[in-house]
Amino acid sequence: MDLPQDIPTCRDNIDRLDDEILKLLNERSQYVIQIGHLKRQQDASAHLHTPGREVAIVERLMRQNPGPFPSEAIRPVYREIMSASLSLEGTQTIAYLGPPATFTHLAAMRKFGESAEYIPVNSIKDVFDEVERGRMRFGVVPIENSTEGVVNHTLDLFVDSPLLIYGEVMMEISHHVLSKASKLEDVKVVYSHPHAIAQCRNWLETNLPAVPIAEEPSTARAAERCVHDHSAGAIASELAAQLYGLTILRARIEDNVNNFTRFLVLSQKGAERTGRDKTSIIVSAKDRVGALYDLIRPFSSFGINMTKIESRPTRKKVWEYLFFMDLEGHQDDDRVKKALEEVKVRCQFLKVLGSYPAHQ
């Protein structure tokens, strides 16, 4: 296309296109409202949020994007478009492990966008409770970190909870030193969550060897401690710096640059099949030789990739364990269904925690 050679004309054309985008966004919203109306006619309790549909929309647009608008920017742009559209049909309420500006808060926002309502609660158990009682539509909890391992409390709560896994968020965790101080040398104590401290241990020992390190229940609570104490520093997120008005004295201090945390989205309802799904289960092996091998053999027989296995004590009998497993595929897929049927007859206990879109 032939572009104008002067800035004012270029800006006029941008304004014209922005007007057209706004018109199209409002037209799109009318269809979203109509779909919500039709869904409620069919099922009053149905989720308006449909992750499978969101994945399909974004992937289709990324495939056909001719540029120069970057394809990787399509996902966050449409996350906000879809978040705002859903808010027209009622607020999407999400409970998360608080306080505000924790990494769980960031993960929830990454999943549901700026237009949802985020409610911080005091514990992972409270997240489960809020969703189980129907006070919140969704909940977001951490499940594992690439360097620190699994969050055992989250695994334990799944055993008795009726909730299902509705989705997952994989988020890169970047830790920063935040403070009201103007320079790092003025920091006399550093606060943070034990996991964040462990993930930055080498940096702390090298750069702040004489500074005391104090544990807090969350990185956000650590940032809050710095608001009125100019000699305090916190290891926390960029969002915490914005929320509490702190300066980032050092950015990205984590020892492992490949530091990711996986979060799960909880719901009373399951997610629809997308074709790129993951299924999570809990199983209990019978107490005999080769029991675990017998449990996992059906997955190999049906060509199912098992991406995770984690053991936890049952707390009911000494040396008796539950196994948490993640599988590629949806529980309604024929081969997954057949494999689970075989596992069921080989184990003492089997619970499907949900099938949901795998993080893209």
Which residue among 158, 263, 299, 302 is the active-site one?
263
> What pLDDT is stored for residue 32 in this prediction?
85
Q: Out of 102, 154, 261, 274, which one is annotated catalytic?
A: 261
- Cα-based torsion angle of the residue sequence 9, 11, 17, 23 in order, rounded to the nearest 10 degrees: -120
Global pTM?
Answer: 0.81
Q: Where do the CATH 3.30.70.260 domains begin and end in the chain?
A: 277-357
C-alpha–C-alpha distance, residues 233 and 237, integer Å:
12
What are the start and end residues of each CATH 1.20.59.10 domain in the chain?
A: 7-87
**Residue 261 a catalytic site member:** yes
Q: Each residue of 292-318: pLDDT tens digit?
A: 888 889 999 999 999 999 888 876 665
Confidence bin at 207 (pLDDT 50/70/90): very high
The mean per-residue pLDDT over the stretch 164-190 comes to 94
Least confident of 124-128, 205-209, 344-348: 344-348
Decide if pLDDT at 268 tops 90. Answer: yes
The CATH number of 7-87 is 1.20.59.10
Asked: is 176-250 a CATH 3.40.50.620 domain? The reply is no
The distance in angstroms from the start CA to the end CA of the chain is 34
Q: What is the largest CA-CA distance in the chain?
A: 79
Lowest-pLDDT range of 11-15, 78-82, 286-290? 286-290
CATH entry, 93-173+260-267, from 2.40.50.320, 3.30.830.10, 3.40.190.10, 3.20.20.70: 3.40.190.10
Report the run of H or E that residue 23 belongs to, with start and end: helix 7-42
Is 247 among the residues known to form the active site?
no
Domain with CATH 3.40.190.10 in the chain: 93-173+260-267, 176-250
pLDDT at site 48: 61
pLDDT of residue 61: 92
Does domain 277-357 correspond to CATH entry 3.40.50.2300?
A: no
Q: Residues 1-56: pLDDT tens digits? A: 788 888 999 999 999 999 999 999 999 988 888 887 887 777 756 666 677 778 78
**Segments of the chain assigned E as strands:** 93-97, 117-121, 138-145, 149-150, 164-172, 176-179, 189-192, 213-215, 232-236, 247-250, 260-267, 277-285, 306-313, 321-328, 347-357
Instruction: Identify the residue with better confidence: 85 or 229.
Output: 229
The helix (H) or strand (E) run that includes residue 200 is none
